[in-house]
Structure 1
Amino acid sequence: MDLKLEVVVIPVGDVDRAKAFYQGLGFRLDADFTADDGLRVVQVTPPGSAASVIFGTRLTTAAPGSARGLHLVVFDVEKAREELIAHGADVTEVFHDAGGIFHHAGTEARVSGPHPTAQSYGSFAAFNDPDGNEWILQQVQQKLPGR
């Protein structure tokens, strides 16, 4: 049985501000509708992604900005970083983890610069949306077997 990730709900405080931010980064607007009871759902999709992000009103009880570690896989983390900055995102410098191939939570064990061997899955950059939801760019140039 295939289980495909379709959407991730992120909690935001200002729906229109979030919508403008993500569209400004180049995310495709897929839907924006409001039900009679005030439920509002906005769906956006990152360029090249099969999965989407939704946010709105009356959609989640999570605190705005509480999503952490949402990963966007990119081929070239430096280029993706530059493009996001050009579109208004405040992106960290490229980093790798002192302990290995993935990264610790927050800024623990961050080492400035790309992974020394430039291996896939080892170089990152991060940014937050206007509410503080954390996004991580992860460079993957060659997927590991079975992925």
Structure 2
Amino acid sequence: MDRKLEVVVLPVGDVDRAKTFYKGLGRREDADFAPSPDFRVIQMTPPGSPCSVIFGTGLTTAEPGSAQGLHLVVTELDAARAELAATGTAVSEVFHDAGGVFHHGGTEGRVAGPAPGRQSYGSFAALADPDGNGRLLQEITQRLPGR
């Protein structure tokens, strides 16, 4: 049986500010429901993604900004960075990990520039929403077998 990740909950401090930010990134607004003053759910989906993010009021006890390491996969990292920068979004320069396997948490082990030979899965750029929820753009040009 398939098990598909479809929703990731993001803890935010200011729901309307988060909604404005994600709309500015070109996310599709799927829902904005507020059945009561203490419960609101907003669902937004990145272009081409089967997985959405939700945020709002009364959804999680996690601290705003505590979601880290979410990956947005792109086939053209430089183009994706340029598109985000054009929206005014702060996005890091392209980097790869010193160990060459996967990036470390935080900024440890980052080496400026794309992975040697522009190896698929190896090049990243980082960004965060206004609350500090961190995500990475990851360039994947050729999937591993079975993926």
| TM-score bracket, shorter-length normalisation | over 0.9
Q: CA separation in 2, counterparts of 1:75 and 1:96?
A: 15
Structure 1 counterpart of 2:46, which letter? Answer: P
Q: CA separation in 2, counterparts of 1:80 and 1:101?
A: 22
Show the counterpart of 2:99: 99
User: C-alpha root-mean-square deviation of aligned residues, in Å?
Assistant: 0.7
Q: What do the CA deviations read for 1:98-142 (whole angstroms, capped 9, x no partner)?
A: 001310101010000000110110000000000000010000001
Q: CA separation in 2, counterparts of 1:34 and 1:95?
A: 40
Q: CA separation in 2, counterparts of 1:21 and 1:137?
A: 17
Show the counterpart of 1:4: 4
Unaligned runs of 5+ in 2: none
Show the counterpart of 1:130: 130
Q: CA separation in 2, counterparts of 1:36 and 1:13?
A: 18
Shift in Å at residue 37 of structure 1?
5.3
Q: CA separation in 2, counterparts of 1:37 and 1:26?
A: 27
Percent identity over paired residues: 69
Shift in Å at residue 38 of structure 1?
2.2
What does residue range 13-92 of structure 1 map to in structure 2 within 5 Å? Answer: 13-36=13-36, 38-92=38-92
Q: CA separation in 2, counterparts of 1:96 and 1:14?
A: 32
Q: CA separation in 1, counterparts of 2:101 and 2:81?
A: 19
Most deviating of 31-40 and 48-57: 31-40
Show the counterpart of 2:144: 144
Unaligned runs of 5+ in 1: none
Structure 2 counterpart of 1:12, which letter? Answer: V
Q: CA separation in 1, counterparts of 2:88 and 2:23?
A: 11
Shift in Å at residue 11 of structure 1?
0.2
Contact 1:25–1:88 under 8 Å retained in 2 = no
TM-score, length-scaled by structure 2: 0.98
Q: CA separation in 2, counterparts of 1:13 and 1:88?
A: 21
Structure 1 counterpart of 2:63, which letter? Answer: A
